[in-house]
């Protein structure tokens, strides 16, 4: 199965939740404020003012608004990126590990 076939198949296999919540992106020891636009069990889409590259590994922290629920702490890999007119990046991330 080609990567394009797998990408198309994965889009059907995982439900994406539309969000617009602030998150913290950590790369090379630097904390970068970002916005999570959508989230699925295998990945997420973020928008941030950064200069990452495809293949970069990052940590994504999404705090919980509820004391009883743990926030999301994920290691992810940049698999897609688009530089927006504003200079910000739209990042497609594949979740590699959840802490």
> Mean per-residue pLDDT for 26-42?
94
**Confidence band of 19 (pLDDT split at 50, 70, 90):** confident
Whether 3 shows a pLDDT value over 80: the answer reads no
Domains in the chain with CATH codes: 3-98 (2.40.10.220)
Tell me the per-residue pLDDT of 79-93, one tens digit each, with 9 for 90 and over.
999 999 999 999 999
SS3 for 58?
A: strand
Q: What is the pTM of this model?
A: 0.80
**Confidence band of 17 (pLDDT split at 50, 70, 90):** confident
What whole-number percentage of the chain has pLDDT above 70? 86
């Amino acid at each position: 199965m080609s990567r394009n076939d797998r990408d198309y198949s994965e889009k059907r296999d995982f439900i994406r939740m539309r969000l617009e919540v602030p998150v913290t992106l950590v790369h090379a020891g630097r904390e970068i404020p970002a916005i999570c636009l959508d989230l699925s069990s295998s990945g997420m889409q973020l928008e941030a003012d950064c200069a990452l590259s495809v293949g970069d590994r990052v940590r994504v922290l999404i705090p919980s608004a509820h004391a009883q629920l743990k926030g999301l702490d994920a290691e992810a890999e940049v698999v897609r990126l688009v530089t927006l007119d504003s200079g910000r990046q739209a990042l497609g991330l594949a979740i590699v590990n959840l802490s």
